[in-house]
Amino acid sequence: MQTQWRSSPHSRCLPLAALALAMAAPSFAQTYPAKPIRVIVGVPPGGTSDTSARIIAPKLAEALGQQILVENRPGANNGIATEYVARSQPDGYTLLWAFSGALVINPGLYPDVRYDPLKDLVPIQLVGTFQFILVVPRSVPASSVKELIALAKAAKPGEYTYASGGIGSPNHLTGELLKRSTGVELAHVPYKGGGPAVISVLAAETKMYFAGIGSVREHMRTGALKPLAVTGPKRAPEAPAVPTMQEAGIPGYDVQAWIGVLSAAGTPAPIVTRVHQALAKVQALPEVAPLLTREGLDLADITPAAFGARIKTELAMWTRLIKEAGIKAE
């Protein structure tokens, strides 16, 4: 699906072409952008990743003076879109609206991933982060993480289950991190997406779920689900009374997903800087920032180098966890 606002995959450039582009980079960057820019989103329309791109696109088109075309290429845990951009021309006209899992989880989970997030892509802007919230059905007699862990440790093996949106999904690995941080035995029950996972915990088919806050906000309001903790380093504005996992007694526990913008490796530095500055300006606009915050994003503005360092750190962390936990792709 493609949406246009006013203002076929390409193979990696041959070395000679890349050299020519690098030599022409200064003048090329001065005229950028001279044609429409495509923003590739790795999920279907709807959801935080897609919605945030469509919130920013019109204002980004104004800031850059060119059309922004938002194009959905879903599949393989955002991997199809990521590979597509990694193999595109490094000219700044094909940008990846990335979900963190494709860059920091997929390479450790899927043996046939055909892109290297550290070598094939260049970071431009970390748009924002979002954390998960640990919820349990109202029938689970726990009002804190410590009580939940105590119940799970006293239960029969396999009795305490946690739902996820699929093997290798962020909420799957978030649950694995809880197991390894506390020594509690929990059985993983993967579903085909976050919607079925929410339904399972509402029906008490599973005992807990690390959810996106927006997907369970109404269920928390009615009391159908009880929030026990959020996974990030600070409390969520949408649930200020809910403690962090660290406040709940799990030292060092910090899990956040993020949305960011990248382009193919070799994109001229002046273009990276131009897009970074434009995105930072747009997402801070008073008519844009509240819409992104409502989607659950904690807006960020760090340098492309700092964004790249974050990708490298998280890639190493999740690859190690996947290996140690023996997690295999579906």
Give the domain-ending residue among 190, 213, 230: 230
Tell me how far apart the terminal alpha carbons of the chain are, to the nearest angstrom. Answer: 26
Residue 147 CA to residue 141 CA, distance in Å, equals 8
Q: Is 273 domain-assigned? A: yes
Q: Is 249 domain-assigned? A: no
pLDDT at 49: 86
- Find the DSSP H helices in 155-297: 170-182, 194-202, 213-222, 269-283, 289-294
Q: Is 314 domain-assigned? A: yes
Does residue 60 contact residue 68 with C-beta atoms inside 8 Å?
yes
Does residue 259 contact residue 127 with C-beta atoms inside 8 Å?
yes
Do 140 and 200 fall within a single domain? yes
Q: How far is CA 58 from CA 64, 149, 176, 261, 328, in A?
A: 10, 46, 39, 16, 40
Do 89 and 138 fall within a single domain? no
Do 158 and 307 fall within a single domain? no
pLDDT at 167: 87
Give the domain-ending residue among 164, 195, 230: 230
Q: DSSP per residue over 121-140, as a string?
A: EEEEEEEEEEEEEEEEETTS
Residue 250 CA to residue 5 CA, distance in Å, equals 46
3-class secondary structure, 230 = strand
Q: Per the structure block, which two tokens stand in for 94?
A: 């094909």
Dihedral sign (CA 94, 192, 167, 253)? positive
Do 123 and 265 fall within a single domain? yes
Q: Is 44 domain-assigned? A: yes
Do 95 and 148 fall within a single domain? no
Do 124 and 157 fall within a single domain? no
Do 150 and 180 fall within a single domain? yes
Do 54 and 119 fall within a single domain? yes
Give the domain-ending residue among 214, 230, 246: 230
Do 117 and 139 fall within a single domain? no
Q: Taking the CB of residue 257, how many other CB atoms lie within 10 A of it? A: 25
pLDDT at 251: 95
Q: Taking the CB of residue 229, how many other CB atoms lie within 10 A of it? A: 27
Tens of pLDDT along the chain (330 residues) come to 555 554 434 444 445 555 555 555 555 567 899 999 999 999 888 778 889 999 999 999 999 999 999 999 988 888 999 999 999 999 999 999 999 999 999 999 998 999 999 999 999 999 999 899 999 999 999 999 999 999 999 999 899 999 998 888 888 999 999 999 999 999 999 988 888 999 999 999 999 999 988 889 899 999 999 999 999 999 998 899 999 999 999 999 999 999 999 999 999 999 999 999 999 999 999 999 999 988 888 999 899 999 999 999 999 999 999 998 898 886
Q: Per the structure block, which two tokens stand in for 241?
A: 């009374």
> What CATH number has the domain bearing residue 139?
3.40.190.10
Do 140 and 124 fall within a single domain? no
Identity of the residue numbered 196:
P
Does residue 58 contact residue 87 with C-beta atoms inside 8 Å?
no
Does residue 257 contact residue 296 with C-beta atoms inside 8 Å?
no
Which DSSP category does 151 fall into? H
pLDDT at 15: 52
Q: Is 153 domain-assigned? A: yes
Q: Give the DSSP H/E element, type plus range, for residue 229.
A: strand 225-230
3-class secondary structure, 9 = coil
Identity of the residue numbered 43:
V
Do 267 and 213 fall within a single domain? no
Q: Is 198 domain-assigned? A: yes
Contacts of 83 (CB under 8 A, 6+ apart): 113, 114, 115
Q: Is 121 domain-assigned? A: yes
Residue 107 CA to residue 315 CA, distance in Å, equals 8
> What CATH number has the domain bearing residue 280?
3.40.190.150
Q: Give Cα 169 to chain centroid, integer Å.
A: 10
pLDDT at 7: 45
pLDDT at 10: 41
Residues spanned by the domain of 63: 2-129+256-325
Number of domains in the chain: 2
Residue pointed to by tokens 């992104």: 292
Do 26 and 116 fall within a single domain? yes
pLDDT at 206: 97
Q: Is 20 domain-assigned? A: yes
